[in-house]
Amino acid sequence: MRIIVIGAGVVGTTSAWYLLKDGHDVTVVERNAHSAMETSYANAGGICPGFAGPWAAPGMPWKALRWLFQDSAPLKVRPRFDPAQWKWLAQFTANCTRSRFAQNKARMQAMAHYSKRCLTELVEETGIEYDAAHKGILHLFTTDAEMTIGHASSRVLTEMGIEHRLLQPSEIVQIEPALGLRSQTFSGGIHLTTDETGDCRLFTQALAILAEQRGARFLYNTDATRLLIKNGRIHGLETPQETLEADAYVVAAGPFSRSLLASAGLSAPIYPVKGYSLTCTISDNQAAPVSCVMDEHSKVMITRLGSRLRAAGMAELAGFDPTPTPSARRLLLERVKTLFPNASDYDKAEWWCGFRPMTPDGPARLGQSVIDNLFINIGHGSNGWTQACGTSRVLADLMAGRTPQVSA
């Protein structure tokens, strides 16, 4: 089958990879000059099924309301005259019940664990290098209230059979010695021993090259402007240069999927949630994290990626406005400097922001749309690096008529 994949982020590129392995003739259309130049460019680098879960959780609407009035909040809703934002927020709130949270979390966990197995197989097959490490992730708690959340999380992890270790404050430095270099106090932690880290951009760009070598066509600098419909099917993809034709089309355009799907009369429940990261060269190995710390206090994740340190976090619901918010950058910088003050020269950090493609309930959307030759693989939110291989393999299964190993 001739298949056009729209988008060469981690999701579009892994989709192309698995479709290629099924023997399809694959073309990837990407408006940037390279793959992974948008949300997959500089995320926190965590491949962490242990954390996969929806943001729509019991109590979240009240927290978000309180955060509206705090300058130093990890999540900020900036209300706009945008019906898409209000609709998304209403759907998000409706998913904050205990039962919906449990259902959505279970689905995301199943996909994330499956995805990690798929990633392992893919790396074994290709030998791709992406500053990967397999040293677990430390969930760090500073206050007693956070540790109470930690105990509850540990119970859920145990119920789900996820390997982890609950840590006393004194045990934290055994996992991350640099946290002991300054007189900071923590209330405890959880070590998710099997979670991994790696650079999503390096992975995606290496995979795109391999896919090209194995026969996929990557049309870079090509903007997909419209899906053209005739007799209830997609008969072409309009680009400024030409109309491209295929037997089937896959939309994997991350946060930008909504407008493309709208051109075919479809709606996608995705809203962009802006996040920030900084990346810098590690100047003192002993003062840097060994692996990855997820700081519950600020919701900032700090990861070692080879010889670099990446800190990422913050969340703003403000449409596609790329303007950095000074308070968000300040908070991120303050927290990484507090936890790992001497790891790097933070004045030389490279700053980035990207838009998480968030669904209101949490799970990504994938499979056939109501138009039978149009497929989607979208809405991976804050877990796209963790889930991409899994959702893309399931997509390839569905397109081949096979039963996937986990439900979509």
Ligand X SMILES: Cc1cc2nc3c(=O)[nH]c(=O)nc-3n(C[C@H](O)[C@H](O)[C@H](O)COP(=O)(O)OP(=O)(O)OC[C@H]3O[C@@H](n4cnc5c(N)ncnc54)[C@H](O)[C@@H]3O)c2cc1C
Q: Which is nearer to ligand X, 73 or 224 (CB)?
A: 224
- 40/181 Cα distance (integer angstroms): 33
Question: Side chain identity at 291, as an amino acid letter?
Answer: S
Q: Phi and psi (nearest 5°) for 262?
A: -60, -30
> In terms of CB distance, is 135 or 284 closer to ligand X?
135
Residue 226 C-beta: closest distance to ligand X, Å: 9
Comparing CB distances to ligand X, the nearer of 166 and 237 is 237
Closest to ligand X by CB, 107 vs 187, is: 107
Site map (CB under 6 A) of ligand X, residues 247-266, x = contact: -----xxxxx---x------
130 touches ligand X by CB under 6 A: no
Looking at the Cβ atoms of 53 and 188, the one nearer to ligand X is 53
Tell me the per-residue interface mask from 334 to 363 with ligand X, x by CB under 6 A, - otherwise: --------------------x-xx------
Sheet strand arrangement including 374-378: 217-219, 25-29, 2-6, 248-251, 374-378, 365-368
Min dist CB 295 to ligand X, Å, is 13
Size of the site for ligand X (CB under 6 A): 42
Q: What tokens appear for 404 in the block?
A: 């996937």
Are residues 38 and 29 in contact, defined by beta-carbon separation less than 8 angstroms?
no
Q: Does 202 bind ligand X (CB under 6 A)?
A: no
Three-class SS of residue 208?
A: helix
User: Nearer to ligand X by C-beta: 187 or 363?
Assistant: 363
Among 9, 54, 150, 289, indicate the residue that binds ligand X (CB under 6 A).
9
Residues 212-241 as x/- pattern, contact with ligand X by CB under 6 A? -----------xx-----------------
Q: Which is nearer to ligand X, 57 or 108 (CB)?
A: 108
- The tokens for 392 are 């893309």
What length does the chain have? 408
318 to 40, 121, 324, 352, 381: CA distances (angstroms): 19, 38, 11, 16, 15
Backbone angles phi, psi at 117, to 5 degrees: -65, -40
First to last CA, the chain: 22
How is residue 86 written in tokens? 């209000």
User: Among 16, 11, 38, 373, which Cα is nearest to 219's?
Assistant: 16
| Binding flag, residue 53, ligand X (CB under 6 A) | no
Asked if 309 interacts with ligand X (CB under 6 A), we say no
The reply to whether 392 sits near ligand X by the rule CB under 6 A is no
Select the residue interacting with ligand X from 19, 30, 55, 188 (CB under 6 A).
30
- State yes or no: residue 394 binds ligand X (CB under 6 A): no
Q: Does 7 interact with ligand X (rule: CB under 6 A)? A: yes
SS3 assignment, position 354:
strand
The region, left, alpha or beta by phi > 0 then psi within -120 to 50, assigned to residue 306 is: left
Residues 363-382 that bind ligand X (CB under 6 A): 380-382
